Amino acid sequence: LLCYIDFMADNNHSHFQHLYFVLTGIPGLELKYYWMAFPLGAIYVIALFGNGVIISTIKSELSLHMPMYYFLCMLALADTGLALCTMPSMLGIFWFNYKSIAFDACLVQMYFIHTFSAIESGVLVAMAFDRVVAIWKPLRYGTILTNSVVCRTGAVILTRAICVVFPVPFLIKRLPFYRSNILSHSFCLHQDVMSLACASTRVNSLYGLIAVIFTKGSDSLSILLSYAFILQTVMAIASGEG
């Protein structure tokens, strides 16, 4: 209601849409932003370098051409993508006090952040399943997790992430924004942008909840069950040997 009243009073019944959002650093520490950027930049470089080393090592070492390391390589790629999506805008705030981000650029950043996050979650499930097979069926490990199975698993993880997150920017795009354009993070997130909308966000909230349950919720449960099964198997082996 307040959004509607402000809109009618301030814009004389004409439609106005924010063309950009304002990102937020760390409130109260503005004078220290420049110095905070150095450790943040170091973390950024270390993350990129570390993931690059992992990927190049797995690629060059034939002895590491195994499902476990393939999944580790996927995780490193997803982590690199997530760092590339978030760190530049954070460093822009801390080093250059550049807080503005165009509306469409915000939607693109939002899409890739949530997509890479969903990919990471899916890869962690695949890694947990890999360990289950290695402990439960060690003699059949190579025949169960073949290269084609690993490739199909990676394709499923990527497809799921792309399809689940794909509607999110369009759900945000349909909403009007004409009151506040100040975000509470250093990058664009669906829930953060959605909270600024001057219209009902019920569809966004419902879809966001379904997406989280379908990805993070089911993945967390799968990982928990996988490691519970691993623990049970290890204890059974130990008691049998005893």
Q: Which of 230, 70, 64 is nearest to 137 (CA)?
A: 230
pLDDT of residue 140: 92
pLDDT of residue 34: 78
- Global model pTM greater than 0.75: yes
Task: Please report, as a single letter, which amino acid is at residue 204.
Answer: N
> Which residues, 6 or more positions from 5, have their beta carbon under 8 angstroms from its beta carbon?
none
pLDDT of residue 149: 96
pLDDT of residue 69: 96
- Taking only the tens of pLDDT, the chain with its 242 residues reads 445 444 454 444 344 567 889 998 877 777 777 788 888 889 999 999 999 999 999 999 999 999 999 999 999 999 999 999 999 898 888 888 888 999 999 999 999 999 999 999 999 999 999 999 999 888 899 899 999 999 999 999 999 999 999 999 999 999 998 888 999 889 999 999 999 999 999 999 999 999 999 999 999 999 999 999 999 988 888 776 64
**Is residue 171 a contact partner of residue 8, using CB atoms and an 8 Å limit?**
no
User: Rounded to an integer, what is the distance from CA 168 to the centroid of its chain?
Assistant: 13
Top-level class of domain 21-241: mainly alpha
Quick check: helix, strand or coil at residue 107?
A: helix
For the chain, the domains span: 21-241
Structure tokens at 198: 């001057």
Quick check: helix, strand or coil at residue 167?
A: helix
- Triad 136, 139, 145: Cα angle to 5°: 75
Distance (Å, rounded) from C-alpha 230 to C-alpha 136? Answer: 8
What H or E segment, with its residue span, contains residue 4? helix 2-11
Structure tokens at 130: 């890999």
pLDDT of residue 233: 86
